[in-house]
């Protein structure tokens, strides 16, 4: 592998490369990773911390892959990226006691999964995610989903449609805010399953079908 920098200087010693072709991405503490214009093929891409020290940050622009596992990352920003044709899309979780804080901007995830637990974008265990101007569609599971009551999500100007198995546009066990979103081509638009689950919505275009023991309300 050869690394050429834009100004012709020798690469910094902190530049890492991988020789294990079964695992893409990075696993490190107190490290910032930057990916641009990369198409990851055939395997799960991991972005995650290495220990309880944490401090990992990841910034990706115009990258695609099948399955993304992002765990224990202090700050993760996807812009114009996508998850296509895999089992799960963007999957955020805790690792070594550190939650993941993520932002998705202009991302499109589609065409994956085989069961109702395979979503285009999902967060777990208190992670926080912001989805802006995205498209999440043609996945087997809910288009976007949040698991566990401590998880928080804000979705702005995004389109969610065609959940082939779960037949649900958006699902949360935590709390979520949906603003200027469109949900279509599903039987159930919104699902808040826990008694403390709350979906706060504003300017939502959908069929209006809501299920669950939680609350869906305008704000």
Q: Each residue's pLDDT tens digit in the chain (219 positions)?
A: 566 777 888 877 766 655 554 456 788 899 999 999 988 877 789 999 999 999 999 999 999 999 999 999 999 999 999 999 888 899 999 999 999 999 999 999 999 999 999 999 999 999 999 999 999 999 999 999 999 999 999 999 999 999 999 999 999 999 999 999 999 999 999 999 989 999 999 999 999 999 999 999 999
**How far is it, in rounded angstroms, from Cα 154 to Cα 137?**
18
* Predicted local confidence at residue 145, as pLDDT: 98
Give the CA count within 13 Å in the CB-facing half-sphere of 132.
9
Vertex 74: Cα angle to 72 and 76 (nearest 5): 95
pLDDT score at 41: 79
Calculate the dihedral angle through the C-alpha atoms of 24, 147, 115, 193, rounding to the nearest 10 degrees. Answer: -170
Sequence ranges of the domains in the chain: 24-218
How far is Cα 104 from Cα 133, in angstroms, rounded to an integer? 8
Tens of pLDDT along 73-109?
A: 999 999 999 999 888 899 999 999 999 999 999 999 9
pTM of the model: 0.90
């Amino acid at each position: 592998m050869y690394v050429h920098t834009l100004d012709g200087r020798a690469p910094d010693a902190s530049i890492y490369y991988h020789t294990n072709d079964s695992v893409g991405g990075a696993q490190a503490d107190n490290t910032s990773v930057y990916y641009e214009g990369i198409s990851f093929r055939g395997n799960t891409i991991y972005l995650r911390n290495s220990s309880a020290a944490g401090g990992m940050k990841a910034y990706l622009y115009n990258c695609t892959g099948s399955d993304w596992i992002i765990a224990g990352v202090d700050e993760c920003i996807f812009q114009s990226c996508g998850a296509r044709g895999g089992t799960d899309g963007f999957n955020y979780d805790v690792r070594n006691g550190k939650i993941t804080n993520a932002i998705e901007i202009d991302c499109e995830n589609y065409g994956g999964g085989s069961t109702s637990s395979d979503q285009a974008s999902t967060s777990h265990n208190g992670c926080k995610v912001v989805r802006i101007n995205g498209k999440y569609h043609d996945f087997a599971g809910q288009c976007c989903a949040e698991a566990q009551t401590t998880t928080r999500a804000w979705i702005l100007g995004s389109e969610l449609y065609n959940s082939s198995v779960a037949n649900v546009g958006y699902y949360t066990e935590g709390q979520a805010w949906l603003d200027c979103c469109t949900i279509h081509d599903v039987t159930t638009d919104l699902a808040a399953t826990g008694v403390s689950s709350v979906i706060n919505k504003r300017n939502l275009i959908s069929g209006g079908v809501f299920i669950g023991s939680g609350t869906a309300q305008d704000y």
